[in-house]
Amino acid sequence: MGAAGSKLEKALGDQFPEGERYFGLENFGNTCYCNSVLQISSQKKKTGVIAPKRFVQRLKKQNELFRSYMHQDAHEFLNFLLNELVDILEKEAQTAAKTDPETPPPSEKIANGFKNGHGHANGPQKEPLITWGILTNETRCLQCETVTARDETFFDLSLDIEQNSSITSCLKNFSSTETLNAEDKFFCDKCCSLQEAQKRMKIKKPPHILVIHLKRFKYMEQLGRYKKLSYRVVFPLELKLSNTVEDADIEYSLFAVVVHVGSGPNHGHYVSLVKSHNHWLFFDDENVEMIDESAVQTFFGSPQEYSTNTDHGYILFYESLGSNNN
């Protein structure tokens, strides 16, 4: 990225943030899924190209899923990376606990964005090594009105999407009430039998960093394969999270987007957009360039099913504007 780096430095000029680093990452055949996630991080120099060869080698050694040259999923990589980080922190915490009894308990591992079993029965809970958000799964028996609540900690929210919708509407659908009846009846402990019930999911503790995964790859029964949904889903620069237990609006600001480029789930490319010091940067493997904030909306998706635009927002990263979630 020598020329591209120089171009970026010239574009920013005196506005180049002190101490900030903007690097492209070399692609080793099919590692854009990895680069697009890693580029939401910091480097040591101002601009240039880094070849994360050892990282990719370790990744392939740790997980056979990423060993082939087939198109990989950036969301799967993100969850794998986070699980590995939790494992490392867990081992470090266990080692430290042998010498320091005051060390906080290790974090639990997540799977597919969620992990269960939050909370400790005895004594106050210490701050975990990695802070997740907390979801409350509420089920209300329609016979005795008893409400059963179960907490789940999460890193990201995977949302079903619809054509010409918005993140706000997707979040409302995520927290909408579902009726359990017929073969899906709920076993009520108080009634000691299967009963019709209503279930809903609400956010009990909003995370400081809210990651939203748009479910753009859907299995189509009639096709017998996965299909990419190019739906236009508007994601705002400023997001108000209203589906919380306390019914209090939590404000978030968009700071990064992983974009899937391509018409199908088994081929394509990943790039990322990152906001840094009020500047939006476009990362495409080795190439990094500055873009206007207005360009972010070009990645909402396509208003029609068949479109020449195949660049669609896939993973969204929001940061809380409040200080109480830090």
Helix or strand or coil: residue 316?
A: strand
278 or 10, greater pLDDT: 278
State the average pLDDT over residues 189-217.
94
Question: Of the spans 149-158, 241-250, 317-326, which averages the highest pLDDT?
Answer: 149-158
Query: Among candidates 69, 45, 28, which has minimal Cα distance to 285?
Result: 28
What is the pLDDT at residue 292? 95
pTM equals: 0.77
Which residues have a catalytic role annotated?
Answer: 32, 269
CATH superfamily of 8-96+132-320: Cysteine proteinases (3.90.70.10)
- Residue 144: C-alpha distances to residues 59, 126, 192, 326 (Å): 51, 36, 11, 40
Residues paired with 149 in a beta bridge: 138
Rg of the Cα atoms in the chain: 22
Instruction: Please report, for the chain, the start and end positions of each structural domain, with discontinuous segments joined by +.
Output: 8-96+132-320
Residue 164 tokens, joined: 């010409």
What is the greatest pairwise CA distance in the chain? 71
Query: Among candidates 198, 187, 305, 321, which has minimal Cα distance to 255?
Result: 321
* Integer Cα distance of 72 and 260 in angstroms: 11
Kindly indicate the confidence band of residue 89, based on its pLDDT and cuts at 50, 70 and 90: confident
Q: Is the pLDDT of residue 60 over 90?
A: no
Share of the chain above pLDDT 70, in %: 68
What is the pLDDT at residue 51? 67
**Helix, strand, coil share (%) of the chain residues, nearest 5:** 25, 35, 40
What is the pLDDT at residue 190? 95
State the average pLDDT over residues 286-314.
89
Q: Is the pLDDT of residue 301 over 80?
A: yes
Residue 295 tokens, joined: 């360009």
Kindly indicate the confidence band of residue 43, based on its pLDDT and cuts at 50, 70 and 90: very low
Share of the chain above pLDDT 90, in %: 40
Residues in the chain: 326
8 Å CB contact between 96 and 103: yes
State the average pLDDT over residues 276-294.
89
- Residue 222 exposed, middle or buried by CB count within 10 Å (0-12, 13-18, 19+): exposed
Task: Tell me the torsion sign for CA atoms 126, 128, 134, 138.
Answer: negative
The conformational region for residue 123 under phi > 0 = left, psi -120 to 50 = alpha, else beta, is left
Query: Among candidates 215, 130, 111, which has minimal Cα distance to 173?
Result: 215
What is the pLDDT at residue 291? 93
pLDDT in tens, 124-164: 344 444 568 899 999 999 999 999 999 998 989 999 999 99
